[in-house]
Amino acid sequence: MNSNKFFQWIHSFKTLSSNSTIYLYFWIFGLINNILYVVILSAAIDIVETNIPKSLVLLVDILPSLTIKLLSPFFIQRIKYGNRIILLIILSCVGMILVSLKDLWICLFGVGLASLSSGFGEVTFLQLTHTYKEVSLNGWSSGTGGAGLLGSAIYLLLTTVLHIPIRISLLLFSILPFGFLLYYRLDGNVEYHPLQDHQITTIDIEESQLEPELGVFVGDHSNEDSISSHISKTLAKLKMLIMPYMLPLTTVYFFEYLINQAVSPTLLFPIADPDEILNSHFSFFHKYRDFYVTYGTLYQMGVFISRSTAHVFRIKQLYLLSALQAINLLIVLLQSWNYIVHRPWPIMILIVYEGLLGGSSYVNTFLNVLSNVPPQDKEFALGSVSIADSLGILLAALVGTKLEPTLCQHQVSDNRPWCTLE
């Protein structure tokens, strides 16, 4: 009896140790995959000129990512995970090197490469959570939240506090993607992931084999028919995910990225006025761009907290988060337009709360997928639902390119020209 208890204890210890390792590795994967995206958004005000909407950087930073997510359900299952990791490292490193250059268009091309890597990496690691279960998803979600907090905070430290040149600060982040190599140390490494039932198409089966579902030989059909059938089945599966998971996630991200990239650059307060608390000896707001970078850091703090505590606070009513985020957008729009609050501290608290809602929406969406989707469809669903957040961000970027200039022009006419200053 005692012997059995001893072996049970050993088994439990090994399981706990294995789970801790999986959690740590996926935390690092989430950190690396998202930190470049966060740093680029934090640097948006430094990458483009003052009179150019920061949503332009957001647009370039999300469009390639969304494109790869939209296309991935149709092809990604045919790429070995090991090959995906190498591709992620190349895209990320080259992208950040180009982002650190001075030419705007080369810089934006680098942003696009980093965006491709981010989208491809998110699909890849979310699909891997199907193999390593909920512990890996918790690690991934917390890591992506940590990326937001560390990325924005480190960029704030390097540029605002330490005054390291922008280009050198950006170049330093090109080293991080080599951390993806930890993938090869995962126990039970899935070098070639077996195709799930929903991913099997007639083009995947040898011509000499019988297709059970159709009851005919593959050779009797054209490639066009096979591809068309595969696309139809994939679209049908995507349709089932829209209402319960994708739409609420899309709306949350649409509202919060309108706040982050279009409204927050206009949530400014006078620095030169000696009556303002901002001019006290403990203030680090020396330029108007410092507000934008600080808001980004506070937002990411909220995201990190909520993504790291999802196992404690589970939320199944995803549309509730959408409604609350819409209220936040309305509040900051009123502030930007009417200058209701004359101190930054209430706005800073609101930004943290906004991040809490955004992070909670992300992790609870995928936890609900793991809990509710049938086992044979989980890997497909985990990769496909990631389309939703990128779609929301893209829509926010498109609206933001018009919204930010409109808000700024109104502030200038209202004798608040701070959005035009550095």
Res 56 pLDDT > 80: no
* Whole-number Å distance between alpha carbons of 172 and 169: 5
Give the number of other Cβ atoms within 10 Å of residue 69's Cβ: 24
Query: Under a CB-based contact definition with an 8 Å cutoff, are residues 253 and 324 in contact?
Result: no
Res 212 pLDDT > 50: no
- pLDDT digits over 63-119, tens only? 898 899 888 888 887 888 889 999 999 999 999 999 888 788 888 898 899 989 999
* Whole-number Å distance between alpha carbons of 269 and 285: 10
What percentage of the chain has pLDDT greater than the value 70?
82
Least confident of 34-48, 56-70, 178-192: 178-192
Query: Under a CB-based contact definition with an 8 Å cutoff, are residues 212 and 202 in contact?
Result: no
- Residues forming a β-bridge with 211: 216
- Assigned CATH class of 20-185+229-420: mainly alpha
Question: Three-class SS of residue 35?
Answer: helix
Cα distances from 355 to residues 195, 310, 390, in angstroms, run: 36, 14, 16
The closest alpha carbon to 403, from 249, 265, 298, belongs to 265
**Residue 205 confidence (pLDDT):** 30
Considering 35-49, 210-224, 294-308, the range whose residues carry the highest mean pLDDT is 294-308
Question: Three-class SS of residue 44?
Answer: helix
**Residue 338 confidence (pLDDT):** 95
Residue spans of the domains in the chain: they are: 20-185+229-420
- pLDDT digits over 394-412, tens only? 899 889 889 999 999 999 9
Least confident of 44-58, 184-198, 304-318: 184-198
* Whole-number Å distance between alpha carbons of 357 and 366: 15
- pLDDT digits over 105-139, tens only? 888 898 899 989 999 999 899 888 888 878 888 89
Query: Under a CB-based contact definition with an 8 Å cutoff, are residues 141 and 30 in contact?
Result: yes
- pLDDT digits over 228-281, tens only? 887 788 888 888 999 999 999 999 999 999 999 899 999 999 885 545 444 444
* Residue 54 pLDDT class (50, 70, 90 cuts): low
- pLDDT digits over 333-357, tens only? 999 999 999 989 999 999 999 999 9
* Residue 201 pLDDT class (50, 70, 90 cuts): very low
Q: Rounded mean pLDDT of the chain? A: 81
Longest dimension (CA), the chain: 83
Query: Under a CB-based contact definition with an 8 Å cutoff, are residues 68 and 118 in contact?
Result: no
Residue type, 288: Y
| ∠ CA 51-252-341, rounded to 5° | 55
Res 211 pLDDT > 70: no
Classify residue 415 by its DSSP letter. Answer: T
- Sequence-ordered alpha helix ranges (H) in 288-420: 289-308, 318-338, 345-372, 378-413
Query: Under a CB-based contact definition with an 8 Å cutoff, are residues 36 and 176 in contact?
Result: yes
Res 194 pLDDT > 70: no
Tokens 């705007």 belong to: 104
| Residue 21 burial (C-beta neighbours within 10 Å; 0-12, 13-18, 19+) | middle
Cα distances from 330 to residues 45, 54, 323, 333, in angstroms, run: 23, 20, 11, 5
